[in-house]
Amino acid sequence: SGPIGIMAAMPQELQALLDLMPDESRVQRGGREFWRGHLGGREVVAVLSGIGKVAAATTATLLADAFGVSQLWFTGVAGGLGADVRVGDVVVASALLQHDLDASPLFPRHEVPGLGVSRLHPPAALVTQVADAVAEALSPQALAPGGPLSHIHLDTLGLHAPRVHTGLIVSGDQFVNSAEDADTLRHHLPDVLAVEMEGAAVAQVCVAFGLPYAVVRTVSDRADASAHVDFERFVRSVASPYSLAIAMALLKA
Ligand code: ADE
């Protein structure tokens, strides 16, 4: 019954949400600015996650404990690792894992000490709901002339129509930008779809608080040597409008 917590990875994404909130008010806590108000008729708290696992976990903890959110959504970008995960696609997490967590030999590689598992799973019903919302928000009609996202010129940007993938997202305190590091991740986790720096940490916090959560990422790069190229432009022209459209579709659901 509490508000929905929306964590945005990038300032442009947060701003797009705030622009649609008629009544937002700012609350400062833990060096962060939380925005309380309404979006799509629902009570929400929107906030910038901060980059990396600790920053994101701190933000998620505050949303859970100080703002009493009833569920938590994370939107941002990620590096694509799955063979058919292309720049401009969207990945919905059905599992999250911290790829840089290794307390072996005390615990198996990647296992979260205390939880006895390495993979955390958002509620299956929410995963389905999010994947459906993404498919609706980014449908061919939405991107076609006259549609709500017709201002995104995918062909000019060299992008394909977005595909929606559901599966494993891994997180670690590292921006992956070499083919070698990307290969290492695929070697240890053959079913990995995407890599980012926050999702699995947020998942661990949500497990601690018993909160439903969802992680949605637009693929901005292939986690190789060209990963930083045009990052800003991609976020501004593609990832932000995508994440806003996805959030609005989800709020309707
Ligand atoms: N977020 C977007 N691209 C990423 C990458 N290549 N590695 C980690 N986080 C990312």
* CATH number 3.40.50.1580 given to 76-252: yes
What interface predicted TM-score (ipTM) does this complex get? 0.99
Pocket lining: 87 vs ligand 1, CB cutoff 6 Å: no
pLDDT recorded at residue 85: 96
Pocket test for ligand 1, best of 170, 180, 220 (most atoms within 8 A of CB): 220
- Residues identified as active-site: 13, 221
pLDDT recorded at residue 232: 83
Domain locations along the chain: 76-252
pLDDT recorded at residue 179: 95
Look-up: residue for tokens 């928000």? 137
Q: Is 179 exposed, middle or buried (0-12, 13-18, 19+ CB in 10 A)?
A: middle
Pocket lining: 194 vs ligand 1, CB cutoff 6 Å: no
pLDDT recorded at residue 251: 93
pLDDT in tens, the chain (253 residues): 899 999 999 999 999 999 999 999 999 999 999 999 999 999 999 999 999 999 999 999 999 999 999 999 999 999 999 999 999 999 999 999 999 999 999 999 999 999 999 999 999 999 999 999 999 999 999 999 999 999 998 888 888 899 999 999 999 999 999 999 999 999 999 999 999 999 999 999 999 999 999 999 999 999 988 777 678 888 889 999 999 999 999 998 8
At residue 129, φ and ψ (nearest 5 deg) are -60, -45
What end-to-end distance do the CA atoms of the chain give, in Å?
A: 16
pLDDT recorded at residue 30: 97
pLDDT recorded at residue 225: 83
Pocket test for ligand 1, best of 51, 177, 217, 221 (most atoms within 8 A of CB): 221
Beta bridge partners of 4: 44, 71
Spatial neighbors of 6 by CB under 8 A, at least 6 apart, are 17, 39, 44, 45, 46, 47, 72, 73, 75, 247
